[in-house]
Structure formats: C-alpha cells, structure tokens
C-alpha cells in the first residue's frame, strides 16, 4: 500500500464527493461530450462529476484503493468512468488524444513534474484545455491541507514555464480561498489556479 492507498483506505472520502469549485467553473468552457483525462483523480470526485456532465472521462492514478473508490462513487451516481492504474512518473497519454486534462491537487515532486506535466499537455488536441488547481508555496502558512514540502507546491510562474510552447495561458491566479472539501481540505488556503489552451 502506498501513501495514498493508506489514506484512501480510511472510511469516507478524504476530499469529499463533490467536485472542486474551480473545476466546476472552468469546465463550462468544455465542448459537449469532451474526452477528458483526470490524472491523480484519487477517490474520483472530479472525474465522476465530469462524467455526470456528459463527458467521456478517464481517471488515472497510482492508488488502486483510490481508483476502486472512484468506481464505487461512479456506480452510486450512475455514470460511466474509465479508470486506469498508472504512475505519472513514467506514463504519457497518446499525443493529441484528449480535449481536456484536469489536475486538481496533484502535487508531484520536482524530480518528475516537468516531464509529467509536458507529457500531459502533449496529450491535448490543439485547442484543448488544461485545468489545474494546486496549493501555492504560501500554503505552508496554513493548515488546511497539502504537502508540507515547498518542492511539491506550485506557483503560476512555474507552471507557465513548464508548459511554455505547449499551452497558451488563459488564467493564472494565486491567492486565498476557503476550502471545504471533505476532511482533507478545510479552511483558509493559498492556492494556484491555472488554465491553459493547447497551441
């Protein structure tokens, strides 16, 4: 059992069963019946919501416990979700194969992040959307969730540099918000929100 398997093996849903608020807003940009990839979807709250909006969703994660719970949630909500076990450290989607990539609180260490992020962006079709929310380094001053390691926290500037030449930035924001996402994300938080479109 890895770190996330252990957390997701606890009863309930660590980040709740409702989709992230920024995703709900950003997803309004997606054409009907989009092909959506949700890396690091964990227990599936975001992938299941996107499937409920009529999109064709694949959630990939390296927590088998999380993926199993995602399937349970999908069944409860009566939607179809494809789930695949992958390690983002060495996995790439087929180039130009999806309309959107959704990264919500997927905090990869610096050692694997650049390759993984660029491979995910290359998976987008031209005009496709990358939607990302993650904790900012200023989150270290808050106790509402997230890794306690600055190497795993993201600034909008870092993301723009990582996605350079692949994505046109459309929204780049960092600031405070109040999270209420299950027991894992509760209270005042400092987050980065980033939206880019495949060139």
Ligand X SMILES: C[S@@+](CC[C@H](N)C(=O)[O-])C[C@H]1O[C@@H](n2cnc3c(N)ncnc32)[C@H](O)[C@@H]1O
**Dist. CA 190–CA 90, nearest whole Å:** 29
Q: Are 8 and 2 in contact (CB under 8 A)?
A: no
Strands 35-39 and 98-104, sheet pairing: parallel
Q: Does 61 sit near ligand X (CB under 6 A)?
A: yes
**Dist. CA 29–CA 88, nearest whole Å:** 26
Q: How far is the CB of 3 from ligand X (least distance, A)?
A: 8
Per-residue mark of binding to ligand X, 118-137 (x: CB under 6 A): --------------------
Q: Which of residues 79-98 bind ligand X (CB under 6 A)?
A: 87-89
Q: Which of residues 10-29 bind ligand X (CB under 6 A)?
A: 15, 20
Sorted by sequence, the CB contacts under 8 Å of residue 166 that are 6+ apart come out as 118, 121, 122, 198, 199
Q: Does 42 sit near ligand X (CB under 6 A)?
A: yes
Task: Give the count of alpha carbons within 13 A of 74, CB side only.
Answer: 26
Q: Does 41 sit near ligand X (CB under 6 A)?
A: yes
Q: Considering the complex, state which of residue 66 and residue 123 has its C-beta at the smaller distance from ligand X.
A: 66
Q: Which residues bind ligand X (CB under 6 A)?
A: 4, 15, 20, 40-42, 45-46, 61-63, 66, 87-89, 104-106, 108
């Amino acid at each position: 059992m890895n770190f996330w398997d252990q957390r997701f093996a606890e009863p309930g849903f660590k980040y709740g069963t409702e989709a992230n608020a920024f995703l709900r807003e950003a997803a309004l940009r997606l054409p009907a019946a989009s092909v959506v990839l949700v890396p690091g979807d964990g227990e599936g709250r975001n992938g299941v919501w996107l499937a409920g909006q009529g999109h064709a969703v694949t959630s990939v994660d390296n927590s088998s416990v999380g993926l199993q719970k995602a399937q349970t949630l999908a069944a409860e909500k009566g939607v179809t979700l494809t789930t695949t076990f992958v390690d983002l450290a060495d996995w790439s989607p087929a180039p130009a194969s999806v309309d959107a990539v959704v990264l919500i609180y997927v905090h990869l260490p610096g050692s694997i992040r650049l390759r993984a992020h660029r491979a995910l962006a290359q998976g987008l079709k031209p005009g496709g959307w990358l939607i990302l929310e993650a904790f900012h380094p200023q989150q270290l001053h808050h106790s509402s969730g997230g890794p306690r390691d600055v190497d795993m926290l993201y600034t909008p500037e870092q993301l723009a540099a990582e996605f350079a030449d692949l994505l046109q930035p459309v929204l780049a924001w960092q600031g405070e918000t109040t999270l209420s996402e299950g027991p894992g994300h509760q209270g005042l938080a400092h987050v980065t929100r980033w939206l880019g479109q495949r060139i």
